Amino acid sequence: MQTTSAKELYAGADLHGNNVFLSICDREGTEVFRRRVRTTLDAVNEAMDPYWPQVQAMGIESTFNWYWLVDGLREQNRDVRLGNPAKMKQYKGLKHADDASDARWLAELLRLDIFPESYIYPKEVRSIRDALRRRQLFVRRRTQVMLSLQSLLERYGFKAPGSRALQQWTQADVEATGLDPFVQLQLRTLLEAVQCSERLAGQIESAVLGFIEPNPSFEQVQTVPGIGKALGMTIVLESGNFARFPNAGCYASYCRAVKSERSSNSRKKGENNKRNGNPFLAWAFVEAASFAPRFYPEIQSWYDRKKKKRNAIVAKKALAAKLSKAVWHVMNGEEYVMGMLF
């Protein structure tokens, strides 16, 4: 589209599943290049080659498939910035927006030095974190199938055993129900799905545990009430470097443990983005808030008072916020003190 006469250039890449739209602007904001290319590192570099010497940085929006592009370019010593999608919305009054304008906007944010960067999780441990996320997939499937299995038994007048007892069922137990052959077929397949999900989740958990157990952070985080090995692994791997959170409130916000609210003149005007933050940490701290009151009378007492004053959902969310802040303090070298929690 143009030459590379400008000394400073800024690039934006609008990444999709099957293509990448590239845009480059100069220091004055004039677009000097735009092109749609295939989703391969060679195709991106071929298009960018004439401009790389002058490109100060490239901005890429954080999408589901950014790994290959960001990692590949960083290995070539390119200055690549991963953008936070929640903080880079264009002006809503635009009459027309497309891939070209999106890529151009990424480059413009870099040029103006207001590009909202996302944390790039270290490549060497990212696959371990992602493996633990897949474990949750199998755990959810196990729970879903188990509920289906229990409801099937209750449909035919049987008192469904607890999940632990039901997982131990064999072919003989299924036949002992005396139910129709096709009902027994459903029972056998559902049992097999439960046992398969349990086995796969266990494989991932054992492998991740072997990696993370020597990490001192893993032991530290388990000193906070309600956090055992499974939740400890999730919290350590999903949080990454705790130094990136300047205070406990910022960490609690990242864990989706604080309310989303927009106010003006001390009056609530609406809500902001509730989904801003890490959904896996949000789940982990709600789980911790479910376990903690069972084993700590002080927490149970506080939780009961809060629940009576508001409701169970608010009380659990409030406890999750307190536990997330406690984790931030513990992971920054402080000892857990129960009295400080409340």
Asked whether residue 25 carries a pLDDT value surpassing 80, the answer given is yes
**Chain-centroid distance, C-alpha 179:** 43
Of the listed ranges 227-241, 273-287, 321-335, the least confidently predicted one is 273-287
Indicate whether 5 pLDDT > 60.
no
Q: Amino acid letter at 340?
A: M
Please check the confidence at residue 226 and state whether its pLDDT lies above 50: yes
Candidates 47, 46, 4; CA nearest to 26 is 4
pLDDT in tens, 110-131: 999 999 999 999 999 999 999 9
Query: DSSP secondary-structure letter at 226?
Result: T
> How confident is the model over 152-156, as a mean pLDDT?
95
Amino acid 1: pLDDT: 45
Cα separation, 284 vs 238, in Å, equals 10
- 3: three-class secondary structure by DSSP: coil
- 67-75 vs 41-48: helix crossing angle, rounded to 10: 60
**pLDDT band (50, 70, 90) for residue 308:** very high
Tell which residue, 23, 25, 229, has the closest CA to residue 111: 25
Determine the average pLDDT of the residues in 179-205: 95
pLDDT for 57 beyond 90: yes
pLDDT at 6 over 60: no
**Looking at residue 91, what is its pLDDT?**
65
Average pLDDT for residues 23-49, to the nearest whole number? Answer: 96
- Model confidence over 88-98: pLDDT tens digits? 877 666 677 89
For the chain, what percent of residues have pLDDT higher than 90? 82
Domain extents in the chain: 9-111, 125-212, 216-341
Mean pLDDT of 15-21: 96
Tokens of 236: 């350590």
* Mean pLDDT score, 256-280: 74
Structure token pair of residue 132: 């633990």
Q: Name the phi and psi angles at 50, rounded to 5.
A: -65, -15
**pLDDT tens-digit map of 295-304:** 999 999 999 9
Q: What is the pLDDT of residues 232-266, one digit of tens each?
A: 999 999 999 999 999 999 999 999 998 876 666 66
Looking at CATH, the fold of the domain delimited by 9-111 is given as Nucleotidyltransferase; domain 5 (3.30.420)
Q: Which percentage of the chain shows pLDDT scores above 70?
A: 93
pLDDT digit string (tens) for 134-147?
999 999 999 999 99
* pLDDT for 2: 46
Band (pLDDT 50/70/90 cuts) for residue 318 is very high
